[in-house]
Amino acid sequence: MSSPEFSCTVTVKPLPEHTDSEQGRWAFSYTITISNSGDVAAQLIAREWDIVDTEGQVQQVRGLAVVGHQPFLQPGEQFQYSSWAQLATPQGSMKGRYLCVTEQAEIFWAEVPEFLLADSASLH
């Protein structure tokens, strides 16, 4: 029996060039590394994100691919991409998951645990 699994790690950085606190916009870049930690090849097909600011406003993002790619990963391979999000508050969080499928058309989800969108230099 196959064991499909993708694991994900995230790093976050503020994007000052897209942040305007006077206009109530804070932007953050995030880089995600997706690793095929299972024992079968599989492809990332789609993504689902919930982006939440500190006032509880939720942005939901759903769609095919990540930054235009649907990577096919053999066991042990990785795919990394960067994107960004904008909030109406100086901090927030994101969590999501990727819809994936094996060559045998077995569907599974790769969870991205919740991560903080904040300027780590401003956190105490």
Total structural domains within the chain: 1
Structural domain contains residue 1: no
Structural domain contains residue 32: yes
Q: What is the pLDDT of residues 78-107, one digit of tens each?
A: 999 999 999 999 999 999 999 999 999 999
Structural domain contains residue 124: no
How far, in Å, are 19, 38, 119 from residue 90 at the CA level? 9, 37, 8
* pLDDT at residue number 15: 97
Structural domain contains residue 99: yes
User: Tell me, what CATH number does 114's domain have?
Assistant: 2.60.40.1470
Q: Which pTM does this prediction carry?
A: 0.92
Query: What distance in Å separates the CA atoms of residue 3 and residue 37, rounded to the nearest whole number?
Result: 9
Structural domain contains residue 62: yes
